[in-house]
């Protein structure tokens, strides 16, 4: 059970790569790091249904806001250096892994007694 949740948090590794070049505003980092903190709380308190539910809701909300950030703040072609291309690529990869993370966290929520 704990292994699934840790794999669910794996997208944060890619998120950190996406923040390397400061392409996105601070709200991108604050939102994802806040969900990371709630995710750590959900791992530590294994019997808490509230923690895992808040983590799932946070993941869903950050998936929406990540899509908005990527679509609005994507740099133009003339400003796209290799570092920026890598950073945006990691942010997109993180966004693509969020549904998998949401599914794993949802399974954990059901195991803890959620509906």
- Model confidence at 103: pLDDT above 70: yes
- Nearest to 59, CA basis, from 26, 20, 108, 21: 108
What average pLDDT does the segment 6-30 reach? 67
Q: Is residue 29 classed exposed, middle or buried when 0-12, 13-18 and 19+ CB atoms within 10 A define those classes?
A: middle
Q: In the structure encoding, which two tokens stand for residue 93, read together?
A: 């990869």
Helices 49-73 and 26-44, packing angle to 10 deg: 160
Boundaries of every domain in the chain: 1-113
The pLDDT value given to residue 77: 78
Measured between alpha carbons, how far is residue 6 from residues 9, 76, 89 in Å?
5, 35, 22
Which of 2-6, 18-22, 44-48, 50-54 has the largest mean confidence? 50-54
- For the beta carbon of residue 104, count every other beta carbon within 10 angstroms: 20
Q: In the structure encoding, which two tokens stand for residue 12, read together?
A: 């944060």
- pTM equals 0.79
């Amino acid at each position: 059970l704990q292994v699934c949740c840790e794999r669910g948090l794996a997208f944060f590794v890619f998120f950190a790569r996406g923040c390397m070049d400061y392409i996105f505003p601070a709200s991108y980092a604050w939102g994802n790091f806040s969900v990371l903190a709630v995710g750590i709380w959900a791992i530590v308190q294994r019997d808490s249904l509230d923690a895992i539910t808040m983590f799932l809701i946070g993941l869903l909300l950050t998936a929406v806001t990540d899509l908005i950030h990527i679509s609005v703040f994507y740099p133009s072609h003339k400003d796209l250096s290799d570092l920026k291309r890598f950073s945006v690529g990691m942010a997109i990869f993180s966004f693509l892994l969020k549904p998998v993370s949401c599914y794993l966290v949802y399974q954990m929520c059901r195991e803890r007694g959620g509906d």
